[in-house]
């Protein structure tokens, strides 16, 4: 194995590879759960270096686990002692924004926030947004088909992607860095890599689609006193705002009360006595008319008794303060420590009964459990945070059985935007048929016949061909 590491070092240089204590000093999960155990961490600086490294690993049947921003929540980046971690952290170049075509080309290691800032500096918008924006990378966003806060209007990562450059398991480079929206020339190959979690190839560069920056942004936090009113409120706001609604984030009382706490960190914009809270945002092009339309829509909701309280942000700072409540995942993890996180989709009418059932079943086994619920209700996606005081395998399995078992009869989805990784593998059958899994395996076998790319992620493990 030393010979393999030495060969890789000749490709990436001494600064491009970490071994020994430099590996174990790093974490490869969030929240951190100990040091990385990989044989080595390889840090290529170009597509050419990625290609050469993968060709070498393919020839020797060496398993490779990809590392992006390491903000994933399904244990997909945790490398074993016989696996090499390939980090794209040095591939962080962002090319100048093309303001005419409204695109930007980036390397896969660029953090999401850097793309947002580059677009904003040119009067444009990159609409993908999530709490880990400062750390999550473009390559990771593509590999997991990230969703986030703006899906209701702009869609998930695949809708922001015009072209990719990716390296296959044997080192072959597939370069299709197109900067046009319309391209109907056969199979849309870039979509093979979206949501594949690095199992079919490693994305090294991408062309991203940008949108016009909104001239107006109107944000409010509202309180709602019954779940049945949430869907009506969403429908009314979407209609009243004429398609400008860009975020509709729901927080159950358990989440809101936990994050607000004693009010020292976030204040208390609305008291904690309500069952549900919605953070909604509309972005438009008329700085005079949009705020008035936003206020009128909320006033109409009051009159129709859909909402019981509301706070409208009067400045950028106030907007950021409201969003900080929804994005406080660190506070959430600390309060639930050790936390278990779940990311599911199901029909809006089924959500209330589902959450109630999960709570009741958890309470029977762990009377002192904690659970919070929040998420992107506008696109049918909610998140659960559960704390039962332990992450021992027996407890984790029991909680998963409750959370996913309650989904199955409701035809819910076990992963809305975080992916499968290794954590959700046992429950893939809850959301995918045998025929679908079989087709996915056929694609995997064709593109990675030796099973060296992120083996045991997304699909159940199969023997690696080291010949």
* Digit-coded pLDDT (tens) for 266-322: 999 999 999 999 999 999 999 999 999 999 999 999 999 999 999 999 999 999 999
Say whether pLDDT at 158 is over 90.
Answer: yes
Q: How far apart are CA 52 and CA 155, in angstroms?
A: 35
Q: From the CB of residue 467, how many other CB atoms can be counted at a distance below 10 Å?
A: 6
pLDDT in tens, 65-108: 999 999 998 989 999 999 999 999 999 999 999 999 999 999 99
Average pLDDT over residues 441-449: 97
Give me the CATH number covering residue 12. 3.30.43.10
Q: Examine residue 448 and state whether it is found in any structural domain, yes or no.
A: no
Question: According to the model, what pLDDT value does residue 467 have?
Answer: 63
**pTM given for the model:** 0.92
Q: Examine residue 307 and state whether it is found in any structural domain, yes or no.
A: yes
Q: Which of 193, 212, 231 is where one domain is finished?
A: 212
What whole-number percentage of the chain has pLDDT above 70? 99
Q: How far apart are CA 138 and CA 116, in angstroms?
A: 11
| Pair 12, 108 in one domain | no
Q: Examine residue 402 and state whether it is found in any structural domain, yes or no.
A: yes
Q: Examine residue 446 and state whether it is found in any structural domain, yes or no.
A: no
| Pair 362, 308 in one domain | no
Sign of CA dihedral 204, 205, 211, 212: positive
pLDDT band (50, 70, 90) for residue 1: low
Give me the CATH number covering residue 357. 3.30.70.2740
pLDDT in tens, 234-270: 999 999 998 899 999 999 999 999 999 999 999 999 9
Q: Examine residue 298 and state whether it is found in any structural domain, yes or no.
A: yes
Beta carbons within 8 Å of 265's beta carbon, 6+ residues apart: 328, 331
Question: According to the model, what pLDDT value does residue 400 have?
Answer: 97
b/e map 124-159, b = 16+ CB within 10 Å: bbbbbbbbbbeebbbbbbbbbbbbbbbbbbbebbee
| Pair 191, 235 in one domain | no
pLDDT in tens, 41-55: 999 999 999 999 999
Say whether pLDDT at 369 is over 70.
Answer: yes
| Pair 389, 352 in one domain | yes
| Pair 317, 342 in one domain | no
Question: According to the model, what pLDDT value does residue 464 have?
Answer: 64
Q: How far apart are CA 386 and CA 150, in angstroms?
A: 25
Cα distances from 355 to residues 138, 344, 403, in angstroms, run 32, 11, 9
Question: According to the model, what pLDDT value does residue 319 have?
Answer: 97
Say whether pLDDT at 340 is over 80.
Answer: yes
395 backbone dihedrals φ, ψ, rounded to 5° = -65, -45
Average pLDDT over residues 203-211: 98
The whole domain housing 125 covers 103-212
Cβ(138)–Cβ(152) below 8 Å: no
pLDDT band (50, 70, 90) for residue 334: confident
Query: What ranges in 304-454 are assigned the alpha helix state H?
Result: 316-326, 329-336, 348-365, 393-405, 434-447
Question: According to the model, what pLDDT value does residue 466 have?
Answer: 67
Question: According to the model, what pLDDT value does residue 223 have?
Answer: 98
Q: Which of 87, 112, 140 is where one domain is finished?
A: 87
Say whether pLDDT at 139 is over 80.
Answer: yes
330 backbone dihedrals φ, ψ, rounded to 5° = -65, -45
| Pair 134, 170 in one domain | yes
Say whether pLDDT at 465 is over 80.
Answer: no
Domain count, the chain: 4
| Pair 203, 258 in one domain | no
Beta carbons within 8 Å of 285's beta carbon, 6+ residues apart: 212, 214, 215, 216
Give me the CATH number covering residue 179. 3.30.465.10
Give me the CATH number covering residue 308. 3.30.70.2190
Question: According to the model, what pLDDT value does residue 318 have?
Answer: 97
Question: According to the model, what pLDDT value does residue 377 have?
Answer: 86
Q: Examine residue 463 and state whether it is found in any structural domain, yes or no.
A: no
- Mean pLDDT score of the chain, rounded to an integer? 94
């Amino acid at each position: 194995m030393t010979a393999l590491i030495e060969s890789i070092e000749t490709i990436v240089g001494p600064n491009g590879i970490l071994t020994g204590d430099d590996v174990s000093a790093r974490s490869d999960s969030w929240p951190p759960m100990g040091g990385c155990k990989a044989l080595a961490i390889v840090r290529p600086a170009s597509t050419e270096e990625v290609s050469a490294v993968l060709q070498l690993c393919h020839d020797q049947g060496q398993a490779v686990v990809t590392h992006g921003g390491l903000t994933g929540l399904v244990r997909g980046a945790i490398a074993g002692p016989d696996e090499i971690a390939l980090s794209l952290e040095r591939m962080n170049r962002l090319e100048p924004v093309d303001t005419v075509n409204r695109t930007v080309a980036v390397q896969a290691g660029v953090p999401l926030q850097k793309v947002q800032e580059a677009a904003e500096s040119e009067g444009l918008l990159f609409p993908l947004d999530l709490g880990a924006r400062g750390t999550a990378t473009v390559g990771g966003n593509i590999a997991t088909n990230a969703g986030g806060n703006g899906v209701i209007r702009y869609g998930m990562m695949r809708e922001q992607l015009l072209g990719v450059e990716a390296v296959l398991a044997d080192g072959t480079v597939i370069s299709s860095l197109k900067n046009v929206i319309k391209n109907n020339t056969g199979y849309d190959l870039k979509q093979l890599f979206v949501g594949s979690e690095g199992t079919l190839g490693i994305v090294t560069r991408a062309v991203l689609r940008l949108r016009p920056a909104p001239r107006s942004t109107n944000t409010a936090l509202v309180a709602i006193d019954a779940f049945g009113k949430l869907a009506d409120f969403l429908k009314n706001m979407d209609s009243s705002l004429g398609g400008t609604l860009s975020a509709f984030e729901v927080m159950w009382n358990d989440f809101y009360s936990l994050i607000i706490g004693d009010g020292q960190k976030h204040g208390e914009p609305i008291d904690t006595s309500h069952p549900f809270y919605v953070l909604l945002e509309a972005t438009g092009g008329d700085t005079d008319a949009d705020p008035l339309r936003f206020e009128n829509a909320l006033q109409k909701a009051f009159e129709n008794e859909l909402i019981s309280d509301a706070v409208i942000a009067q400045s950028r700072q106030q907007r950021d303060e409201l969003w900080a409540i929804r994005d406080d995942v660190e506070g959430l993890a600390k309060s639930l420590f050790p936390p278990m996180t779940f990311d599911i989709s199901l029909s809006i009418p089924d959500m209330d009964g589902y959450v109630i059932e999960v709570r009741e079943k958890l309470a029977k086994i762990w009377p002192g459990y904690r659970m919070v619920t929040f998420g992107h209700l506008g696109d049918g996606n909610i998140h659960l945070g559960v704390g039962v005081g332990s992450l021992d395998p027996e407890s984790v399995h029991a909680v998963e059985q409750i959370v996913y078992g309650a989904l199955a009869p409701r035809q819910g989805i076990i992963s809305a935007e975080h992916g499968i990784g290794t954590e959700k593998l046992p429950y893939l059958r809850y959301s995918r048929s045998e025929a679908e899994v079989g087709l996915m395996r056929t694609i995997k076998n064709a593109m990675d016949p030796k099973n060296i790319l992120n083996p045991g992620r997304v699909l159940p493990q199969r023997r690696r061909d080291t010949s």
